[in-house]
């Protein structure tokens, strides 16, 4: 991703957080993580994150999703003695559609990212409105998409080791490469 | 504490959360925990809590403090293989004065609850404004007080086992006794 694109996404995420009444320090705003997953279509498949704390015992983040932006399907595998990341998503504003393994409805409310259909395989739907939350057990495939106005989601979890996440889409690189603008 | 007093504190806490833009479900509002610590002076020494999630791996809560309300000094001791609760306090609105072990200033900004002075022994001061946070290591004595407009604080932590907390004040009972109104 180009540095200018990252900066633009950071500003957009910061504005959404601000209008939801979520206070951040200047340092946090300047370090909002923009994950494009190496797919080159940030507004469709991407995620903006602020990691508040990540210790060897617990982790807390704020996730920002632009309207209809999707975090692609993945699992958190076991690592050593860790059975894999367990995480609770709590919707703070907007609406989020979360998909996990299990019985699927005949049609879902999210729009699977075009040309990426083969990499979305679980469709048990959980709709989260502000104040609603859901806990994802370790080793469960999941993906999520914001509704039409975007979403802010608090993530409470065991220790986060994003670099070990396994994505269904083999093209995905979780850790970003930043390219300077020409 | 009387059930009527609990109900009043729940309503007051819910109103503060609402005006800070923090969404709760009806069930959460009805189950706000009101901790008076058995001291009979809730507005001076007390705390209101919503536990979002508490698993064997992590915990997340929202803490509400009325203006100048104080959570009394305590530690989280080791329990079995657990080295003791580690917790991160993140101020969401208002202002909070947090005190931990360490160098103390000549005067502090909080008002130690009158007649309870012997039970406040650590005075290293951390002032948290919205967006600011601090992580308390296990086994460190701490207490905290809201500023003049109260405070809302997100607590991210390892597993919470409040019933094992050790308070400096031997009069304190962490787990409340509810008395029906006469």
Confirm if B38 and B176 have CB atoms less than 8 A apart: yes
pTM over 0.80: yes
State residue A174's pLDDT score.
Answer: 77
- Residue A75 clears pLDDT 70, i.e. is over it: yes
Contact state of A156 with B88 under an 8 Å Cβ cutoff? no
Strands A87-100 and A142-157: antiparallel
Read off φ and ψ for residue B130, nearest 5 degrees.
Answer: -50, 130
Residue of A20, A29, A58 to mutate, testing the B interface (most B Cβ within 10 Å of its Cβ) = A58
Give the confidence band of B168 by pLDDT, cuts at 50, 70, 90.
very high
A138 phi and psi, to 5 degrees? Answer: -60, 145
Of all residues in chain B, what percent carry a pLDDT higher than 70?
99
Q: Could you tell me which residue, B182 or B86, shows the higher pLDDT?
A: B86
* pLDDT mean across residues, chain A: 96
Residue B104 has pLDDT above 70, yes or no: yes
* Closest CA in chain A for residue B156: A60
CATH superfamily of A3-162: Jelly Rolls (2.60.120.10)
CB–CB contact B91 A23 (8 Å): yes
Contact A154 B23 (CB under 8 A): no
- In chain A, where are the structural domains located? 3-162
Whether residue A21 and residue B25 make contact (CB cut-off 8 A), yes or no, is: no
Residue B14 contacts residue A96 (beta carbons within 8 Å): no
**Sequence-distant (≥ 6) Cβ neighbours of residue B63 within 8 angstroms:** B47, B48, B49, B71, B89, B151, B152, B153, B154, B155
By Cβ distance, the residue of B53, B92, B133 closest to A88 is B53
Residue B102: what pLDDT? 97
State the CB neighbour count (10 A cutoff) for residue B61: 20
Residue A160 has pLDDT above 90, yes or no: yes
Query: Would you call B28 an interface residue with chain A, using a CB distance cutoff of 8 Å?
Result: yes
Q: Which pLDDT tens digit goes with each residue over B50-60?
A: 999 999 999 99
Q: What pLDDT, on the 0 to 100 scale, is given for residue B182?
A: 66
Question: What is the per-residue pLDDT across A37-51, written as a single tens digit (0 to 9) for each?
Answer: 999 999 999 999 999
Best residue in B131, B158, B159 for a mutation probing chain A (most A CBs within 10 Å): B131
Q: How crowded is residue B33: how many other Cβ atoms within 10 Å of its Cβ?
A: 18
State mean pLDDT over B115-132: 98
Q: How confident is the model at residue A182 (pLDDT cuts 50, 70, 90)?
A: low
- The tokens describing A176, both together, are 């970003």
Give CA separation, A157 vs A22, A54, A90, B145, B165, in Å. 19, 9, 11, 27, 23
For residue B155, count other CB atoms closer than 10 A to its CB. Answer: 21
Across the A:B interface, residue pairs with CB atoms under 8 Å apart total 80
Nearest CA in chain A to B155: A60
ipTM of this complex prediction, to 2 decimal places? 0.95
The pLDDT of residue A170 is above 80: yes
CA of A118 vs chain B CAs: smallest distance (Å): 33
Do A5 and A42 touch, CB atoms closer than 8 A? yes
At residue B111 the predicted structure's pLDDT band, cuts being 50, 70 and 90, is very high
Cβ neighbour number for residue B104 with a 10 Å cutoff: 12
Q: Is the pLDDT of residue A64 over 80?
A: yes
**Cβ-based contacts of B58 with chain A (< 8 Å):** 57-59, 86, 156-158
Residues 80-139 in A contacting B (C-alpha not used; CB under 8 Å):
86, 88, 90-93, 129-133, 135
pLDDT at B96: 98
* Residue A177 confidence (pLDDT): 72
Segment B66-71 shows an average pLDDT of: 98
Structure tokens at B122: 């650590």
Q: Is the pLDDT confidence value at B177 over 80? A: no
Q: What is the DSSP string of B95-163?
A: EEEEEESS---SS-SS-PPTT-GGG----EEEEE-TT-EEEEPTT--EEEEEEEEEEEEEEEES---GG
Separation between Cα atoms, residue A73 and residue A150, nearest integer Å: 18
Mutation test of the interface with chain A: which of B56, B57, B59, choosing the one with the most A Cβ atoms within 10 A?
A: B57
Q: Is the pLDDT of residue A176 over 90?
A: no
Q: Which of A52, A58, A90 sits opposite B52 (nearest CB)?
A: A90
A180: three-class secondary structure by DSSP = coil
CA distance A81 to A77: 11
Q: Greater confidence, A1 or A18?
A: A18
Q: What length is written for chain B? A: 182
Q: Distance between CA B95 and CA B135 in Å, rounded? A: 16
Quick one: what percent of chain A has pLDDT higher than 90? 93
Nearest CB among A52, A91, A133 relative to B156 is that of: A52
Question: Which residues have CB under 8 Å from A73's CB, separation 6+?
Answer: A99, A119, A120, A121, A122, A141, A142, A143, A167, A168, A169
């Amino acid at each position: 991703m180009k540095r200018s694109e990252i900066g633009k996404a950071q500003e957009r995420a910061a504005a959404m957080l601000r209008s939801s009444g979520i206070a951040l320090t200047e340092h946090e705003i300047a370090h909002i993580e923009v994950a494009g997953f190496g797919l080159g279509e940030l507004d469709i498949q991407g995620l903006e994150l602020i990691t508040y704390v990540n210790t060897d015992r617990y982790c807390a983040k704020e996730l920002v999703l632009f309207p209809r932006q999707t975090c692609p399907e993945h699992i958190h595998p076991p690592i050593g003695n860790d059975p894999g990341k367990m995480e609770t998503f709590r919707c703070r504003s907007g609406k989020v559609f979360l998909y996990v393994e299990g019985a699927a409805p005949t049609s879902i409310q999210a729009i699977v990212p075009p040309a990426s259909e083969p990499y979305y395989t679980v469709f048990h739907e959980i709709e989260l409105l502000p104040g609603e939350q859901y806990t994802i057990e370790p080793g469960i495939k999941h993906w999520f998409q914001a509704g039409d106005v975007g979403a802010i989601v608090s993530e409470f979890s065991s220790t986060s080791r994003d670099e070990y996440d396994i994505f269904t889409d083999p093209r995905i690189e979780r850790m970003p490469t930043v390219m300077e603008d020409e």
